[in-house]
Copies of this chain bind each other. A is one copy, B any other.
Amino acid sequence: MILTVTLNTALDITWGVDSLRPRTSHRVDTAYERAGGKGVNVARVLTALGHRPVATGLVGGPTGRLIREELRAAGVRQAFLDVAGDSRRTLAVVARDDGDATVFNGRGPYVGPAEWELFCRHYDLLLAADVRVAVLSGSLPPGLPADAYGRLIRTAAAAGVATVLDTSGPALVTALEAGPDVIKPNADELTAATGCDDLPAAAAALRALGARTVVASAGADGLHAITPEGTWRAAPPERLSGNPTGAGDACVAAIAAGLAAGAGWPDILRQAVALSAAAVPCPVAGDIDTAVHQRFLREATVEERVEETHAADAV
């Protein structure tokens, strides 16, 4: 079983307006909301693929109730822990005139030390329920220690559970020394974490800090993966236009599913490229275009980079 952990779950709201004009009033003519947060999106993709993941993490307050209700309606298995604060909301205001989205992200509720301790015990119990891979995704809500992900990675390792970490900034850098099995930074996150804008070099640097495998995503250019078994580039056959926000979560879902099935890296990366691309035509994160998925599975390219593997091992 795959367990997804979302410590800062969200209610993702999308509002449609004619045109966004700062400092004026707008009439919202379409409104749409669903449970979100990166780990929740991963659980949604895995559920759509026929896996039966369990989504855990922290939810709270009236917004937390809506998150739970929406996930129940969507058929995603859940085992969240309640906290006292209200879960955050995110809002994407989509303007019909240019199709562009302006996004507002709430910070999330304050989570106290007692709530965090309770979650760690809850997580430990969940890991014992036949979990093979734990996916740790997204930002940390206010109040959590900077090494929160490090602790979850160590607990998982002690239980023999592989971890896939998808976060950024201090939460990512601090967690590396705990030795996550896979991290999946995108180009911006790599640059922010390392100060280096050469993707393979920045990926190698994060691997040197403790990540066993780094799957770096370069958007429509595909993936660059440095693993203990070798270095690969995986690329889609073409660029798709659409909404890239769910592509990273779909990529993580593919990696988690591959690890849980014991697949090799070339197969995992092919799935990851195809599933990332299949998210792009869908307007909301967590959805997948099945036809794109199948076509890109056939047409994606995966090639080993022997010299880079040696260079990475020498870091």
Contacts and interface: CB of A to CB of B under 8 A. Distances in A.
Interface string A19-40: 0111111111101000000000
Interface stretch (A100-108, A117-125, A232-240): A100-108
Interface in A11-25: 15, 17, 20-25
A102 B28 contact: no
Interface in A218-272: none
A106 B100 CA distance: 19
Contact of A27 (B66, B100, B107): B107
Given A62-B62, A62-B65, A66-B62, A103 B31 contact: no
**Residue with the highest number of chain B CB atoms closer than 10 Å, among A17, A21, A29, A107:** A107
Nearest to A106: B28
Nearest to A29: B107
Contacts of A58: none
B29 A103 contact: no
A105 B28 CA distance: 6
Given A62-B66, A66-B62, A91-B91, A23 B101 contact: yes
Give me the 8 closest cross-chain CB pairs, A-B, nearest first. Answer: A25-B103, A23-B100, A26-B104, A20-B22, A28-B106, A22-B102, A28-B104, A62-B66
